[in-house]
Amino acid sequence: MGWAMMLMLLLCLSAGAMVVQGEDPYLFFTWNVTYGTISPLGVPQQGILINGQFPGPNINSTTNNNVVVNVFNYLDEPFLLTWNGIQHRKNSWQDGTLGTNCPIPPGQNFTFHFQVKDQIGSYFYYPTTAMHRAAGGFGGLRVNSRLLIPVPYPDPEDDYTVLIGDWYSKSHSVLQTFVDSGRALGRPDGVLINGQTGKGMGSDKPLFTMKPGKTYKYRICNVGLKNSLNFRIQDHSMKLVEMEGSHTVQNMYDTLDVHVGQCYSVLVTADKEPKDYTMIASTRFTKEVISATGIISYVGSTGKASSPLPLAPEGWAWSLNQFRTFRWNLTASAARPNPQGSYHYGQINITRTIKLVNSAHRDGGKLRYAINGVSHVEPETPLKLAEYYQVPQKVFKYNVISDDPPATVENKASLEPNVVNITFRTFVEIILENHEKSPQSWHLDGYSFFAVAIEPGRWTPEKRSNYNLLDAVSRHTIQVFPKSWAAIMLTFDNAGMWNLRSELTERRYLGQQLYISVQSPEHSLRDEYNIPDNALLCGIVKDMPKPPPYSI
Ligand SMILES: *[C@@H]1O[C@H](CO)[C@@H](O)[C@H](O)[C@H]1NC(C)=O
Ligand SMILES: *[C@@H]1O[C@H](CO)[C@@H](O)[C@H](O)[C@H]1NC(C)=O
Ligand SMILES: *[C@@H]1O[C@H](CO)[C@@H](O)[C@H](O)[C@H]1NC(C)=O
Ligand SMILES: *[C@@H]1O[C@H](CO)[C@@H](O)[C@H](O)[C@H]1NC(C)=O
Ligand SMILES: *[C@@H]1O[C@H](CO)[C@@H](O)[C@H](O)[C@H]1NC(C)=O
Ligand SMILES: *[C@@H]1O[C@H](CO)[C@@H](O)[C@H](O)[C@H]1NC(C)=O
């Protein structure tokens, strides 16, 4: 064997699990995470910047690309990012939650290395540590379709990312002190579109431009902390083409409700008088409507955007009806992680039903949020590491919550790690039941699920007859309206430790989340990658010898 070849082999071996992915292109990024002053609402405040940017840089990738992001933490606190909606097949090591990764200590770096395998669509990343998301650190992440795979609409003239979200003018540390001391976040100070709120009065610089007659893609994600937002564009309707990784039936919408954590791709054609138009993102389900505006300018625009601005719908029944119009386009070809399971999900037998009930608790002035009576706390040792090092019992207990919680779980909450163990490759139904008066938004890492129903009231097995068992959209977040429930179904075929969380930052931070452990009985590389060589270690595994690696 020649020297060069030997070196190659060594390099391959040290790259570990990445060997099999060698043929797919790589995208490399180096990100410096720093504090910096930003003034999105006109008043200077501390923000979290990535390479000096707020919001952070967009990642523009294509299906099966390997994405390598070396994150340098220049904050004074541990920091971690998650890639909301990226499935990390066999690779929860890259998920960037506190249950899978040690946070990056101040002054250190960690290189995420993941493949956007068999996925397309619009996503975003954000910090999972503390209340950091309130200060920024988020940005868009798109996965374009490979050239070989047909996309069910013509190539748009351009492709725009629109990150909308509520915003608070206090720093993340002040907000953290608030919620730690039992105060709720309360109403936001504003709403932002790509880091700006818009002054209105026609004085704003355009956020986007469109050539007359051309069609543009807008990728709209709600990156905010707690408020559902309505998004609309003056005088233009939107053709919905993609939702969280699935091509949808292409209905036209004048306005879209985007709940926290959700992303939609729409097509907008510049077929109106060539002037400026206003896009609006405004809070839903709040007493006072708070909004942001941004200008879209036609090339050759002959006038400022006019008033009045279109209004958002009212009430959540409207939003529920809109949810029911969302359908998966079953005939569109697309990258799909699990085509066999996906097409006929309505015919797979359910092996387990898990009902999850969210609740809020006040205990000695402290505010906590729980699922089935357990308010999750992060152990110092990430759950995944405890499992890999075969010392889970020193860190957490499996299945502390019950699949069918008694009504009393809402009376009190215990504070402990909340880990549910689900058998590899089983088809499971999860009911998310909301007895509270506020809307919820849930997200599951590592998977797409079929969002088969949202209905008012309480779930009973008879409600299954109302499920959409044909063309529910395969996605990764779902909202649950007040005093309502939602049902999702999926096959747990992605081994790893996966976070199921409230996308509402204060609820997640105060315990409304859990982890799902999915272990392959074989501990085989076919099912799950080994711990990466650069994994940061912390807690009890810090000085433990590495267990023997998984084999083929
Ligand atoms: C990140 O920080 C390092 C060290 O301060 C600097 O050398 C590098 O140029 C920075 N990179 C970017 C993209 O800002
Ligand atoms: C994103 O990537 C695609 C595919 O490589 C490319 O065609 C497109 O121009 C890129 N867009 C931007 C904004 O960089
Ligand atoms: C930190 O960055 C260096 C390159 O500057 C890289 O070699 C190293 O692997 C990174 N550390 C981790 C833990 O990823
Ligand atoms: C679904 O996708 C197919 C195939 O690309 C396309 O021809 C069709 O128009 C789409 N259907 C709808 C209802 O959007
Ligand atoms: C599903 O369950 C039904 C009724 O118990 C049974 O007849 C059928 O064989 C099962 N189907 C599969 C694919 O296991
Ligand atoms: C997971 O649950 C199954 C069935 O309840 C059980 O047999 C198995 O031992 C559990 N695994 C762990 C790691 O707790």
Q: How far is CA 425 from the centre of its chain?
A: 23
Residues recorded for the chain: 552
- Ligand 2 center–CA 144 separation, angstroms: 8
Confidence of residue 6 (pLDDT cuts 50, 70, 90): very low
Task: Name the residue among 141, 1, 170 with its Cα closest to residue 62.
Answer: 141
Q: What share of the chain is helix, strand, coil (3-state, %, to 5)?
A: 15, 40, 50
Q: Which atom of ligand 4 is nearest to the CA of 150?
A: 5
pLDDT (tens digit per residue) in 312-337: 999 999 999 999 999 999 888 666 65
Q: Whose CA is nearest to atom 4 of ligand 3?
A: 70
Say whether pLDDT at 9 is over 80: no
Average pLDDT in the chain:
93
Report whether CATH 2.60.40.420 matches the domain 159-325.
yes
pLDDT (tens digit per residue) in 332-359: 866 665 554 456 899 999 999 999 999 9
Judge contact between 406 and 422, C-beta under 8 A: no
Task: Name the residue among 86, 180, 82 with its Cα closest to residue 131.
Answer: 180
Q: Whose CA is nearest to atom 1 of ligand 6?
A: 421
Q: Where are the domains of the chain?
A: 23-144, 159-325, 342-541
- Ligand 6 center–CA 485 separation, angstroms: 28
Could you say which ligand is closest to the alpha carbon of residue 397? 6
Residue 176 tokens read as: 């953290």
pTM for the structure as a whole: 0.94
Q: Which atom of ligand 1 is nearest to the CA of 30?
A: 13
Pick the CATH number of 23-144 from 2.60.40.420, 2.60.120.620, 3.30.10.20, 1.10.10.10: 2.60.40.420
Say whether pLDDT at 291 is over 70: yes
Q: Percentage of the chain surpassing pLDDT 70?
A: 93
Residue 286 tokens read as: 């709040």
Buried (b) or exposed (e) across 427-462, using 16+ Cβ within 10 A?
bbbbbbbbebeebbbbbbbbbbbbbbbbbeeebeee
Say whether pLDDT at 536 is over 90: yes
- Rounded to whole angstroms, the Cα distance separating 451 from 259 reads 14
Q: Whose CA is nearest to atom 2 of ligand 1?
A: 32
Say whether pLDDT at 14 is over 70: no
> 165 versus 523: which is more confidently predicted?
165
- The full 3-state SS of 392-461, as one line of letters, equals HHHCCCECCCCCCCCHHHHCCCEECCCEEEEECCCEEEEEEEECCCCCEEEEECCCCEEEEEEEECCCCH
pLDDT at 312: 96
CA gyration radius, the chain: 23
Please identify which residue in the block is written with the tokens 């029911």. Answer: 324
Ligand 4 — pocket residues by CB below 6 A?
Answer: 150, 152, 249-250, 329, 331-332
pLDDT at 19: 41
Query: Which DSSP helix (H) or strand (E) runs through 8?
Result: helix 3-14
For the domain made up of 342-541, give the CATH fold. Immunoglobulin-like (2.60.40)
Say whether pLDDT at 52 is over 90: yes
Contacts of 65 (CB under 8 A, 6+ apart): 24, 25, 26, 27, 115, 116, 143
**Substitution candidate for ligand 6 out of 402, 423, 528 with most atoms within 8 A of CB:** 423
- Ligand 3 center–CA 70 separation, angstroms: 7
pLDDT at 336: 63
Q: How far is CA 98 from the centre of its chain?
A: 15
Q: Where are the alpha helices (DSSP H) in 86-243?
A: 172-180
239: β partners:
252, 267
Question: Which region among 72-81, 121-130, 166-175, 515-524 has the lowest average model confidence (pLDDT)?
Answer: 515-524
